[in-house]
Amino acid sequence: MAQRAKISDVAERAKVSVTTVSLVLNGRGEQIPKETQNRVFQAAAQLNYQPNELARSLKTNQSMTIGCITDHIVSGPHAGGVIMGAQELAWAQGRLLLVVNTEDDAELEQSALEMMKRRRVEGILYTTDSMHVIQVPAGLTDLPIILVNCYDPHSPIPAVIPDEFKGGETATQTLIDEGHRRIAFIDGTPPLEANIERLAGYRAALEASQVSVEQDLIPVVPWTPSGGYQATKYLMELTPPPTALLCVNDWVALGVYEALKELNLRIPDDVAVMGYDDQRLASLMMPGLTTMALPHYQMGLKAIEYLMEMSANPEKSKSIPYLTKIPCPVIRRESV
């Protein structure tokens, strides 16, 4: 454990006071002669000195730490992406992330929160795997907090979420731009918040292009591969059949592919297919599935941006919008 050296050791070795060492090592030694500074740096290096952040935090009352609570870190790319974005910006500001995964255990969530408060985290980023409405655990109000991919209608806590509406719109527009006019939307049930928005975006885009919305072209099925399979079989029997299928998510698209293959229809030549979520399987499908990505990374980034603002200036907390919607980018592959 070479890093046991402390500031007084460095001071002693450099033959200066701890004040000087502190000043120099923290880059606030402008008034100290280069020569002295060098002695300090050298001493620190020789001792392999690593300042004790715990002591520093205690003194400065800044933990340089942000808490991150996720419900499911492992089930998909979501939490990872958010953490990645969050960490990157946090890191740039010298902060590190304390991560706790709760697996929906409310009790654990509560104590995790408490643990984080005890460690004096500067803020909390609370993120859920799939976009939905939540009930924020109690005691989340006495410290900066941002919700990611979820929001609580009963509390004023700011949330950063994907712009699913615009996503649905963009996806549809993408298809329109390719010349499609009969575009089906394979909707999923049970109806998640996100699905509803995506559908609304689809309608909006069609209307904006003066394409009439036909209820026939909006089958509702379980949002799984077999749902997509069924929907496709149904849709392709319409006269005329749609030329493009927009799926509420990538899983559904998987079943769509299956059905289309059975019908001997080629993607994208005979019919174009679009998914949503950019799951990993999207890139593996043949042909690669064109889809809408969820802005995990960007949301993580934004959340930290807000959090840092809030902790730097508590007054500002009031000025953070209740909902911040981040656009979903199109991921172009070969299915359109």
Residues that bind its own copies (CB under 8 A): 1-3, 50-55, 57-58, 63, 65, 68, 73-77, 79-81, 83-84, 87, 91, 96-101, 103, 108, 112, 114-120, 142-143, 224-226, 251, 254-255, 258, 261, 279-281, 284, 286, 296
Judged by CB, which is closer to its own copies: 52, or 243? 52
Backbone φ and ψ for 245, nearest 5 degrees, come out as -120, 120
Judged by CB, which is closer to DNA: 94, or 240? 94
Judged by CB, which is closer to DNA: 32, or 98? 32
CB of 111 to DNA, least distance (A): 17
Q: What is the DSSP letter of 142?
A: S
CB of 297 to its own copies, least distance (A): 8
Which run of H or E residues covers position 336?
none
Residue 33 binding result from its own copies, DNA, none, given CB thresholds of 5 to 8 Å by partner type: DNA
- For residue 59, give every residue at least 6 positions away whose Cβ sits within 8 Å of its Cβ, in sequence order, or none: none
Check whether the bond before 153 is cis (ω within 30° of 0): no
Judged by CB, which is closer to its own copies: 185, or 297? 297
Judged by CB, which is closer to its own copies: 152, or 258? 258
Judged by CB, which is closer to DNA: 28, or 154? 28
Residue 333 binding result from its own copies, DNA, none, given CB thresholds of 5 to 8 Å by partner type: none
Residue 63 binding result from DNA, its own copies, none, given CB thresholds of 5 to 8 Å by partner type: its own copies
Q: Which residues bind DNA (CB under 7 A)?
A: 4, 6-8, 11, 15-20, 22-23, 25-26, 28, 31-33, 36, 49, 51-52, 55-56, 58-61
Judged by CB, which is closer to its own copies: 77, or 268? 77
* 208, two tokens: 């904006």
CB of 147 to its own copies, least distance (A): 20
Compute the C-alpha angle 271/272/273, nearest 5°.
120
Q: How far apart are CA 162 and CA 165, in angstroms?
A: 9
Residues 330/171, Cβ–Cβ less than 8 Å: yes
Residues 85/300, Cβ–Cβ less than 8 Å: yes
CB of 13 to its own copies, least distance (A): 19
Burial class (CB in 10 A: 0-12, 13-18, 19+), 128: buried
Judged by CB, which is closer to DNA: 32, or 281? 32
Report helix angle 250-262 to 225-235, nearest 10.
50
Residue 16 binding result from its own copies, DNA, none, given CB thresholds of 5 to 8 Å by partner type: DNA
CB of 317 to DNA, least distance (A): 22
Residue 213 binding result from its own copies, DNA, none, given CB thresholds of 5 to 8 Å by partner type: none
Residue 199 binding result from its own copies, DNA, none, given CB thresholds of 5 to 8 Å by partner type: none
Residue 238 binding result from DNA, its own copies, none, given CB thresholds of 5 to 8 Å by partner type: none
Residues 78/294, Cβ–Cβ less than 8 Å: yes
Report helix angle 164-177 to 193-208, nearest 10.
40
Which run of H or E residues covers position 38?
helix 34-46
CB of 79 to its own copies, least distance (A): 7
Residue 193 binding result from DNA, its own copies, none, given CB thresholds of 5 to 8 Å by partner type: none
Written as one string, the DSSP assignment of 164-231 is HHHHHHHHHHHHHHTT--SEEEEEEES--HHHHHHHHHHHHHHHHTTPPP-GGG--EEESSHHHHHHH
